[in-house]
Amino acid sequence: MSGPWCELKNAQAVPLAEVPDLPIDALRQAVITAVAAGARLGCWCGDGAGRIVAVMVDDAGGRLLVARAVVGDSYPALTPDCPQAHLFERELAEQYGVVPLGHPWLKPVRFHHRSGAGPDAWGREAGSAIEPGVCDMFRVEGDEVHEVAVGPVHAGVIEPGHFRFQCHGEHVFHLEINLGYQHRGIEQAAIGGPHPRTLYQLEAAAGDTSIGHAWAHCLVLEALGGGTPAPGAQGLRALMLELERLANHTGDLGALAGDVGFLPTASFNGRIRGDWLNMSAVVCGSRLGRGMLCPGGVRFGVDRARADDLLRRLEAAQRDVTGAVELLLGAPSVQARFEHVGVVRAEDAAAAGLVGLARRACGTAVDARRNHAVGAYRGISLLPAVATEGDVNARAQVRWLELRESMRLAEWLVSSHVDEPLRTAIPPPRPDHLAISLIEGWRGPVLHLGLTGADGRLSRYKVVDPSFHNWFGLALALRDEQISDFPLCNKSFNLSYCGVDL
Amino acid sequence: MIGPLIERLKQGHHTNRFPAVVPPLPDRLRGRPTVDAAKCPPGCRVCAEACSMQAIDLATAGPRIDLGKCIFCPDCEAACPAKAIHFGPEYRLATRQRADLSVEEGTIYALGKRLEGELLRLYGRSLKLRVVSAGGCNGCEVDVNVLGTLAWDLGRFGINYVASPRHADGMLLCGPVSRNMELAVQKTWAAIPDPKVCIAVGACAISGGPFAGNPQQLGGASAVVPVDLFIPGCPPHPLTILDGLLRLVGRISEAKA
C-alpha cells in the first residue's frame, strides 16, 4: 500500500516538499487503492491554497499516509467509488467551492459561506443570508408515508441538530441528519496561528472530549516545532484521557439504561459519572480537564498524596460502576431491548468508514491507543474491546469492556506516575511543514492536521472528530427500525454535534 | 427483583445537602479569583498580556478581571511574578448584571439578588426551564444536566428542565449563540409565555468565551435576548450553577453572600 504516499507515524511532521503532489486523478486512485487494501480515509480536505490533502489511516501498519493534489473548481467525485468520502467532499465543496462532480448528495454541512473569493458550490452570493438546515431532503413518496421532523432544539439538555425521518407508521425507511447549527468557526480562527486562543477553542471543539482534542492539538504543535513533551507529562495526559473515557462511558451506559426504563442503573451511573469527572478536577481543578494540557506537557502534577487520593477514589468508583453495569447488562428485560436493535452490518460500517467505538461494535479490532500508540500508550499492552453484532447491545458491551480496561489503565497510570518535569519548551512551528495526530478519544479517533506556511504560521488547521465519520452510522442503524427506538439508537452512538460543526 | 434492591443498598445515598451543607470541592478548583494589587510591581502588565481572553485590564486599583470573559484557565495566575492573582475555591459567582462580573482589589463582588415582585411570587417555588445550546461545546450542557442526577436532585428545589418552551418559565442558554442558532433562540424565547427569565450559563453565553470575535457567533445570549442571571465559568462547576439558580429564586439569601 505504500504507492505514491508519504508515510508518517502518528504525531510526526514532514516538510511539505516531501508530501507527494499528484494529479487529482492519481490521488483519487491512490485513495481507492489504499481503501481496498484496508486503510480508511482519515481526512480529505482543502488546504486553502488550491490543493486537496488526503490522509489515509493504515491501522494494521500503524502508519498515516499523506499525499496531495492541485485541484481546480471541480473534479470527479470520490464518493461513488469510496462512500466514506461523502461528508468530506460536501465539506470541501462548502469550505472552498470545489465541486466534486457526480457526488450523489452534495449538500452543505455547516451552512456558511466559502472562504476565499469565487463562486459558491451552490451558487450562493457572497453576502447573501444562508438559512441553516434549509436544503434538499431525501423524501419517500406514498399515500401512507409521512415525515417526522425533529430539532434543531431538542426536548432534553442536548445540542441542536435536525433529524428528518421518512416513516410508514412506526417503521423508519430513512433518517437524514442535518447539522451545522453549532458552527463557531474553529478551523478558520486557527489560521495564522497558533494564536493564544487556539488551544482553548480546541479544548472546546467538543467539550466532552476536551482532553482528546487538546492532546491531538498539542501533538501537532509539538511535531511542527520539532519538540517532545516532558516525560512526566506522558502518564498524566493518558490518565486524563482515560478519566474522560470512564466518565463518558459510565454516563452513556446510564443513559442507555434510562432509555429502556431501567432506572436503577440510570440513577447510579449519572452520579458515578460525576465521580470520574471529580477525579479530573482533583488533578487539574476542572472536571473536564480544561487547562491541563499545553504544548510541551501538562500544567499540573500529581504528588504521592494526590495519587493516593486518586487511587482511593478509583477503587470506590470502580466498585460502584461494576455493580451498576453488571446489574444493567445482566437484566433479561434490558437484553431484550438492547439486542437486534439499531444494527449496523459490518460491511456497511466498513464502507461508510465508521470509526472508534461504533466500529469496534461491528467486529473491527482497531484502537489508536494500540495501533498508533503515542506517549504512555507506547509502553502499555492493550486489547481493543470488540463485539460483533453491531447493535445497541454491542455498543453497550464495548463500552463496558473499555470501562474495565480503562479502570485498569488509570490505576496503573496513577501508581506508576513519578513527578518528573511536567513541561518543556516547544520551539515555534517550522515553516512549510505538515503534521498529523491521532488520539483515541472515548468515541473514537480524534484526528488533527496542521499545515504551516513560509512564515511558520498555521496556513490550515483541520479537525476531524470521530463523530464526523459516525453520524451516517446512526442513519444506517435507524433503517427499518421503529421511530420509537430512535432515542435508544441515538444514545448508543452518542455523537457530538459541535465536534462536527466546529 | 432482589438484585436491584441489594445493589441499591450497596450504592447508598449520595444526594448532597446543599445549601445546608456545601459538598467538598477539589482543592485545585479555579473558582472566583482574588486580586492582591499591593503585590503588583509598578507598571507590570504580565497578567493582562498572559490572558488570551483579554479579560484583564489594568485599572488604577490594579488588575480588574472580567469574569464574563474569563475561562478560569491557569494562565494569569501562573504568569504573575508576584502571585497577586489567585483562583481559589470560592464557587459563588452568579450575578444579575453583566457589569457585576468583575473582580478587582477593594470591591465587593455583587452576587445575584433574587427575583422581585410578581416574578418571585410565580417562580420562587417552581421554575421550569427550557435549555438551549446555541453553539455550546457540550461542556456547560453536561454540567447543567448533571444537576438533574441524584447527586444534586435539582427537582427538590422545584426547578426542572422541560421538553417544550410552552411548558417553560424561562430559558437557560449555553454557548456563544452561533449565527446558525440565532433564529432558533429567538423562536424559543418567543414561544415561552410571559413573564419569563433568561439565564446565561458559561463564558460563551456571557461574552462568546473563547469564540468571542469569531464572525460565526454573536458573542453570547445578550445579543438576542435580555439576560436575568449570568453564571460564569468554562464550564461553571455544577455547584456554581446551582448556587446561581437558588439565588435567583430566593432559596439562598443575600445575607449569606
Residue B243: strand, helix, or coil = helix
- Taking the Cβ of residue B237 and every Cβ of chain A, the question of whether any pair is shorter than 8 Å is answered with yes
Distance from CA of B145 to the nearest CA of A (A): 6
Residue A243: strand, helix, or coil = helix
- Percent of chain A at pLDDT > 70 equals 99
Would you state the pLDDT for residue A2?
62
Residue closest to B235 by CA, chosen among A300, A220, A224, A285: A285
User: φ and ψ at A449, to 5 degrees?
Assistant: -130, 125
- Taking the Cβ of residue B136 and every Cβ of chain A, the question of whether any pair is shorter than 8 Å is answered with yes
Query: Which of B75, B142, B237 to substitute to test the interface with A, most A CBs within 10 Å?
Result: B142
Would you state the pLDDT for residue A282?
97
Task: Provide the grid cell at A293.
Answer: 494540557
Residue in chain B closest to A154 (alpha carbons) equals B163
- Taking the Cβ of residue B13 and every Cβ of chain A, the question of whether any pair is shorter than 8 Å is answered with no
Would you state the pLDDT for residue B257?
43
Measured distance CA(A148)–CA(A139) in Å, rounded? 11
Residue closest to B197 by CA, chosen among B94, B92, B120, B109: B120
Residue in chain B closest to A198 (alpha carbons) equals B210
- Residues pairing with A63 in the sheet: A58
pLDDT confidence bin for B254, thresholds 50/70/90: low
Instruction: Count each helix (H run) and each strand (E run) in chain B, helices first.
Output: 8, 10
Residues A185, B211: C-beta atoms closer than 8 Å:
yes
Distance from CA of A291 to the nearest CA of B (A): 5
Residues A132, B164: C-beta atoms closer than 8 Å:
no
Residues contacting B248, CB < 8 A, separation 6+: B94, B96, B112, B114, B115, B127, B197, B199, B228, B229
Chain mean pLDDT for chain A = 94
pLDDT at A1 > cutoff 90: no
pLDDT tens track for A33-89: 999 999 999 999 999 999 999 999 999 999 999 999 999 999 999 999 999 999 999
Residues B139, A207: C-beta atoms closer than 8 Å:
yes
Residues B71, A200: C-beta atoms closer than 8 Å:
yes
Residues B210, A197: C-beta atoms closer than 8 Å:
yes
Residue in chain A closest to B176 (alpha carbons) equals A184
**pTM for this prediction:** 0.96
Instruction: Please report how the helices A231-259 and A486-493 are oriented relative to each other, as an axis angle in degrees rounded to 10.
Output: 170
Residues A197, B52: C-beta atoms closer than 8 Å:
yes
pLDDT tens track for A386-401: 999 999 999 999 999 9
**Chain centre distance of CA B220:** 13
Would you state the pLDDT for residue A202?
97
Would you state the pLDDT for residue B256?
44
To 5 degrees, how large is the angle CA A212–CA A159–CA A471?
65
Residues B161, A180: C-beta atoms closer than 8 Å:
no
Query: Which of A271, A286, A319, A422 to substitute to test the interface with B, most B CBs within 10 Å?
Result: A286
Measured distance CA(A158)–CA(A491) in Å, rounded? 11
Residues B214, A270: C-beta atoms closer than 8 Å:
no
- Taking the Cβ of residue B82 and every Cβ of chain A, the question of whether any pair is shorter than 8 Å is answered with no
Distance from CA of A414 to the nearest CA of B (A): 17
Least confident of A104-118, A186-200, A407-421: A407-421
The answer to whether A252 and A328 have CB atoms below 8 angstroms apart is no
The answer to whether B123 and B157 have CB atoms below 8 angstroms apart is no
Residues of B in contact with A155 (CB under 8 A): 163-164
Kindly give the pairing relationship between strand A99-101 and strand A74-76. Answer: parallel
Residue in chain B closest to A316 (alpha carbons) equals B11
Would you state the pLDDT for residue B248?
96
Instruction: Give residues 88 to 127 of B whose Cβ lies within 8 Å of A.
Output: none
Of B29, B178, B235, nearest to A181 by CB-CB distance is B178
- Taking the Cβ of residue B214 and every Cβ of chain A, the question of whether any pair is shorter than 8 Å is answered with yes
Residues B211, A189: C-beta atoms closer than 8 Å:
yes
Distance from CA of A160 to the nearest CA of B (A): 7
Measured distance CA(A281)–CA(A92) in Å, rounded? 39
pLDDT at B255 > cutoff 60: no
The helix, strand and coil proportions of chain B, stated in percent and rounded to the nearest 5, come to 35, 15, 50
Q: How much is the ipTM here? A: 0.95
Three-state SS sequence of B69-118: CCCCCCHHHHHCCCCCEEECCCCCCCECCHHHCEECCCCCCCCCCCCCHH
pLDDT tens track for A275-324: 999 999 999 999 999 999 999 999 999 999 999 999 999 999 999 999 99
Measured distance CA(B52)–CA(B75) in Å, rounded? 8
Residues A210, B139: C-beta atoms closer than 8 Å:
yes
Residues of B in contact with A264 (CB under 8 A): 4, 7-8
Would you state the pLDDT for residue A379?
84
Query: Which of B5, B87, B166, B178 to substitute to test the interface with A, most A CBs within 10 Å?
Result: B178
- Taking the Cβ of residue B52 and every Cβ of chain A, the question of whether any pair is shorter than 8 Å is answered with yes
The answer to whether B256 and B138 have CB atoms below 8 angstroms apart is no
